[in-house]
Amino acid sequence: MVARNFGHALFCAMITLIISYPIVGFDLVFTGLSLELQQVEAGTIAGILLAVAAVFVFQLFRPAIMGTLARLVGLNPLANRPPMEQNKRLKLERGALTIIVLLALIWPFMASRGAVDLATLVLIYVILALGLNVVVGLAGLLDLGYVAFYAVGAYTFGLLSQYLGVSFWVALPLGALLAALFGFVLGFPVLRLRGDYLAIVTLGFGEIIRIVLNNLTSITGGPNGIGGIPDPTLFGMEFGRRVKEEGNASFHEVFNLPYESVHKVIFLYLITLVLAVFTLVVIRRLIRMPVGRSWEALREDEIAARSLGLSRTAVKLSAFTIGAFFAGFAGTIFASKQGFISPESFVFLESAIILAIVVLGGMGSQIGVILAAIAVTILPELAREFSEYRMLIFGAAMVMMMVWRPQGLLPMRRIHVQLNRLE
Amino acid sequence: MLSLENIHTHYGKIEALHGVSVEVNEGEIVSLIGANGAGKTTLLMTICGDPQASAGRVLFQGEDITHKPTSDIMRSGIAIAPEGRRVFPGLTVEENLHMGGFFTSKDEIRRNQKHVFELFPRLAERKNQRAGTMSGGEQQMLAIGRALMAKPRMMILDEPSLGLAPLIIGQIFDIIRTLRDEGITVFLVEQNAKQALKLADRGYVLETGRIRLEDTGANLLDNEEVQQAYLGG
Ligand SMILES: Nc1ncnc2c1ncn2[C@@H]1O[C@H](COP(=O)(O)OP(=O)(O)OP(=O)(O)O)[C@@H](O)[C@H]1O
Ligand SMILES: [Mg+2]
């Protein structure tokens, strides 16, 4: 068997060498005015050779290695268990979600400011991923331009606050609705397309939105972005040291507390948490309603779904619009959290990350998506020294997932809608 | 009940149907037979409005449905068990059935499901099984059952015997007869000409996009041309 793999292993090792040597093995150095190609030091060359050797050995013994790894997975007592009964599972899932939310509620009062700030970002990604999960995971529409709706939400708030002095609470629904409107209007021409075509067109759309924002300098400030976006208020109370807007009170004065900047961070976190829970609950509801079932039917077999009288456009548009709505939500919160937005924040990479969260989480499963959002946002922060390699680690993690757990962390177990429970 | 008048259907520039006229009367079983690529599926799809006919008219219960959107047509009393069954593989049998009754009330879903389970006891036994893991015959039963969930007045079947063993084919054809006896008009498309014509009140033979013959089922069975071309001489 090893002999049979020899040729293949040699080939893989060669490829590794061909790819890595020109990229890592040379340095471009300026000598005077000319660029010169220089060999790098021996250590790096040794590193490359080591990598080549590693690839060779791995490929040579690949069946054995993979076999051992598969056995390791088998050792996990939770794997290969027969699926739980539906009612039990639903109860367990609901219990787990409740506990997560409760923990998330009390946790910030014990954590550091930076941690709470990061957690807010995580929650924003949770909202985004739950929204995209509707489009990609449930309805099966590959949307690579999801970030566009996020941008619409953020810029709605940014522009409204800049030109009309609109507050967070007014902008929140407006941002979400406007994003939904964009989703609806843009969905129309796009949704006749299937699979790859849809992916490419949505990708283009995402870029168009970003480029428009970048070039409408007179309105959006172009690459300079929009600053001074206000924080949310609590019943007219502001969280800053001094009240910025007339008629507002100041939180720490009303409650007679010493001013602490962390109040604001915690407050924003709690708002985001509430909105994330709202998103979760609404989407869970939708999944069980006829509209949710029609998404699934269309994903499973478009022709069959249409033969039953479902309108392709209506079903796809509903998924697209609802997904966009929650992206708009997240965008408004993001704008408020950062206080400053620019097209930089809405590049394709963002779409890719959100999509990665959905795929990692298991395409359709909500808890999986939440866990993946946490992992994908927090891990790079924990490994700050590796931040340069963030994308590399990310890519490696994706590849490994696809090899060992192609169905995602927690693949969706579909909920059987029972007739008596429908009533 | 259903009449196609001089239907032409194009895929892009290619004309797949060159003026086809078919009439299905209320309470009949009408079989359409034809070789691979004759345009049988195209004809059924044209009834469903995807693709729409480029010339000619489709009338259902006196109403011109030629240019109606597919979703409207499929909600107006026509149901189809499509070619290749096309059950939702990830959904259970019961969920598949419920999808079939998407536009009916819960009471009706319950009633119709009971009826489908009476017709196909096999489905009742397997109602929590994922449709994708069922055998071909069971999937065909499910496809028919799912179509019945909408309480159609007319049922279209596209090659229900495809890839099934003779025993199962017999069962499926028995069910089709039962459906007709219950008052559902049946338009059956088949390559299995012998069985389909035996079952049919009337039949059509489609050849490369044109109706070649049209007669009662029994006469077509006796017809020399049909025997040579479709019944193996
Ligand atoms: N989507 C399509 N695009 C272009 N041509 C098509 C398409 N679908 C069918 N055709 C062509 O139309 C003709 C009729 O095809 P159709 O599927 O209706 O045949 P059929 O009688 O159902 O055959 P079978 O018994 O094999 O199912 C064929 O020549 C086929 O190549
Ligand atoms: Mg066909």
Say yes or no to pLDDT of A88 above 80. no
Residues A52 and A110 in one domain: no
Q: Which domain does A56 fall in, by range?
A: 2-74
> Contact at 8 Å (CB) between A23 and A15?
no
Q: Do A67 and A119 fall within a single domain? A: no
Higher pLDDT, B233 or B35: B35
Residue A355 lies in a domain: yes
| Cα A352 off chain centre by | 8
Answer yes or no: is A275 within a domain: yes
Residues A118 and A55 in one domain: no
Check B74 against A306: CB less than 8 A apart: yes
Residue A100 shares a structural domain with residue A172: yes
Of A310, A414, A419, the CB nearest to B102: A310
Q: Looking at the domain assignment, is residue A272 inside a domain?
A: yes
Predicted confidence (pLDDT) per residue in A203-234, tens digit: 998 999 999 999 988 888 888 888 878 777 77
Same domain, A62 and A148: no
User: Do A392 and A274 reside in the same domain of the chain?
Assistant: yes
Residue A36 pLDDT level (bands cut at 50, 70, 90) = confident
Cα–Cα dist B84/B215, whole Å: 28
- Same domain for A102 and A70: no
For residue B39, the ligand 1 atom closest to its alpha carbon is 18
Which residue on chain B is closest to A297 by alpha carbon?
B88
A153 plus A206 within the same structural domain: yes
Mean pLDDT of A113-139: 91
Q: State the pLDDT at residue A420.
A: 44
Greater confidence (B65 vs A22) lies with: B65
Mean pLDDT rounded to a whole number for chain B: 93
What residues have a C-beta under 5 A from ligand 2, the ion?
A: B 40-41, 83
**Amino acid A30: pLDDT:** 77
pLDDT band at A376 (very low <50, low <70, confident <90, very high): confident
Q: Give a yes or no: residue A265 inside a domain.
A: yes
Instruction: Report whether residue B36 contacts ligand 1, using a CB cutoff of 6 Å.
Output: yes
Across the interface, of B69, B88, B98, the residue whose CB is closest to A417 is: B98
CB distance B11 to ligand 1 below 6 Å:
yes
pLDDT tops 80 at residue A394: no
* Ligand 1 site, residue B42, Cβ cutoff 6 A: yes
Q: Which among A74, A108, A126 is the end of a domain?
A: A74
State the complex-level ipTM. Answer: 0.91
Taking domain B77-168+177-186, whether its CATH number is 3.40.50.300 is answered by yes
Question: What residue owns the CA closest to ligand 1's atom 31?
Answer: B37
Top-confidence residue, A389 or B94: B94
Counting from 1 in the atom list of ligand 1, the atom nearest the Cα of B83 is: 27
- Written as one string, the DSSP assignment of B87-146 is --TTSBHHHHHHHHTTTS-HHHHHHHHHHHHHH-HHHHHTTTSBGGGS-HHHHHHHHHHH
- The reply to whether A201 and A69 lie within a common domain is no
Q: How far is A301 from chain B (nearest CA, A)?
A: 6
Whether the pTM exceeds 0.90: the reply is: no
How many independent structural domains does chain A possess?
2
Please check whether residue A353 lies inside any domain of the structure: yes
**Is the CB of B225 inside 8 Å of chain A's CB atoms?**
no
Give SS3 for B168.
helix
Give chain A as a 3 state SS string: CHHHHHHHHHHHHHHHHHHHHHHHCEEEEEECCEEEEEECCHHHHHHHHHHHHHHHHHHHCHHHHHHHHHHHHHHCCCCCCCCCCHHHHHHHHHHHHHHHHHHHHHHHHHCCHHHHHHHHHHHHHHHHHHHHHHHHHHCCCCCCCCHHHHHHHHHHHHHHHHHHCCCHHHHHHHHHHHHHHHHHHHHHHHCCCCHHHHHHHHHHHHHHHHHHHHHCHHHHCHHHCECCCCCCCECCEECCCCCCCCCCEEHHHHCCCCCCHHHHHHHHHHHHHHHHHHHHHHHHHHHHCHHHHHHHHHHHCHHHHHHCCCCHHHHHHHHHHHHHHHHHHHHHHHHHHHCCECHHHHCHHHHHHHHHHHHHHCCCCHHHHHHHHHHHHHHHHHCHHHHHHHHHHHHHHHHHHHHHCCCCCCCCCCCCCCHHHHC
Domain boundaries, chain B: 1-23+46-66, 77-168+177-186
Distance of CA B148 from the midpoint of ligand 1 (Å): 26
Any domain includes A24: yes
In a domain, A79, yes or no: no
pLDDT (tens digit per residue) in B134-161: 999 999 999 999 999 999 999 999 999 9
Report the DSSP pairing between strands B78-81 and B154-158: parallel
Note whether B87 contacts A301, CB cutoff 8 Å.
yes
Distance from CA of B18 to the nearest CA of A (A): 24
Nearest CB partner across the interface for B74, out of A297, A300, A308: A308
Decide if B99 and A293 are in contact by the 8 Å CB cutoff: yes
Q: How many C-beta atoms lie closer than 10 Å to residue A96's C-beta? A: 12
The amino acid at B107: D
Asked whether residue A117 is assigned to any structural domain, the reply reads: yes
